[in-house]
Amino acid sequence: MRNLLRVQTRILRFAPRGVDEADGKDYLQTLFQTLTRTPEMTRHLITSALPYINGIKHLGNLVGSMLPSDVFARFQRARGNETLFICATDEHGSTTELAALEAGQDVAAFCAEQHAAQKTAGEAFGLSWDYFGRSSSPQNQELTIHFARQLWKNGHLDLRTTKQVYSVADKRFLPDRYVIGTCPHCGYERARGDQCENCTRVLDPVDLINPRSAISGSASAARKRAAGHPSLSVRSANSDQSRAMAGSRSSCSSNGRRVVSTSIALMAAATPAANQAGRRR
């Protein structure tokens, strides 16, 4: 309180004549409103990086992703702007299935429980979400299907065939994190399909020596099979519109242009078979 009074006294030194200590509170409020007032109300839709469903978030997650967007949302509300601050738990990916398996729950029950826990934690930290949802919601599913259909309709998707590890014991193809094997670079025997934790090399599951399932532990049942899946068309990535977006200085930040340019370069360097793959309906 003493420091606040000192600040108020210093500000009042620059106040117009006739404003005394008794009017100080009203003057400071008027000053704040003047400094933060905008010509007309604008709308702001704000979100942060979606917290992954696997595990309660720590302070680093809070400070690095959710707190900055919360501060910005509070600032816009203080300026009188119409603000919608939303967030959600990200419930997709192989890690979710592995975490549910370790917890002895089915995926739906695990995600529902973790979502409630993360929502409670965010509210306890005082995050001012207007809505905290789930990536598995029916609305998000409908929106995702809509975008996928539009991409397919406009020729931006190709069906490609890649080699993946298939487990006969589990009767399924295994995503990278479901595969464990020996690292071909350093010989570490428990390297994951996406990265070796020993030498930090990025890996492809099919490159592992003696791959085995992280679900069943079956080593002899893991085989390499061809699998088809839709991918963003290389033709689309190399289109004039994509290159124009990557080079535009007005519609995209420098970091955004760098990310787009890198993605285009990676897709352009795809295997010849992928580049020449016809679009099969």
pLDDT computed for residue 178 by the predictor? 85
**Residue among 156, 133, 151 at smallest CA distance from 236:** 156
pLDDT computed for residue 85 by the predictor? 96
Neighbours of 265 (CB within 10 A): 12
Residue 278 pLDDT class (50, 70, 90 cuts): very low
Residue 26 pLDDT class (50, 70, 90 cuts): low
Give DSSP secondary structure letters for 15-60. Answer: SPTT--GGGHHHHHHHHHHHHH--SS--EEEEE-PPPBSSS---HH
Say whether 262 sits in a helix, a strand or coil. Answer: helix
Residue 169 pLDDT class (50, 70, 90 cuts): confident
Least confident of 123-127, 228-232, 259-263, 274-278: 274-278
Superfamily of domain 45-136: HUPs (3.40.50.620)
Alpha carbon of 102 to those of 21, 93, 212, 221, 276: distances in Å? 64, 15, 17, 21, 42
Angle separating helix axes 107-124 and 94-103, nearest 10 degrees: 100
Least confident of 60-74, 76-90, 161-175, 180-194: 161-175
pLDDT computed for residue 247 by the predictor? 58
Average pLDDT over residues 103-114: 93
Q: Does residue 36 carry a pLDDT above 60? A: no
pLDDT computed for residue 162 by the predictor? 74
Q: CA torsion angle for 255, 258, 260, 264 (degrees, to 10)?
A: -170
Domain layout of the chain by residue ranges = 1-37, 45-136, 157-232, 233-281
CA–CA dist 92, 89 (Å, integer): 9
Neighbours of 83 (CB within 10 A): 20
pLDDT computed for residue 237 by the predictor? 53
Tokens of 205: 């599951």
Q: Which residues pair with 204 in a beta bridge?
A: none
Q: Does residue 189 carry a pLDDT above 70? A: yes
Report the share of the chain in percent with pLDDT over 90: 28
pLDDT computed for residue 95 by the predictor? 81
Average pLDDT over residues 57-80: 90
CA–CA dist 201, 133 (Å, integer): 35
Looking at per-residue pLDDT, the higher value among 33 and 174 belongs to 174
Question: So what CATH class is 157-232?
Answer: mainly beta
The pTM assigned to this predicted structure is: 0.62
Report phi then psi at 2, rounded to 5: -60, -45
Residue 186 pLDDT class (50, 70, 90 cuts): very high
Q: Does residue 234 carry a pLDDT above 60? A: no
Say whether 182 sits in a helix, a strand or coil. Answer: strand
Helices in the chain by DSSP H: which ranges?
2-12, 24-36, 59-61, 67-78, 94-103, 107-124, 138-153, 234-237, 240-247, 254-268, 272-275
Least confident of 135-149, 206-220, 265-279: 265-279
Alpha carbon of 7 to those of 16, 22, 162: distances in Å? 17, 15, 66
Q: What is the mean pLDDT of the chain?
A: 76
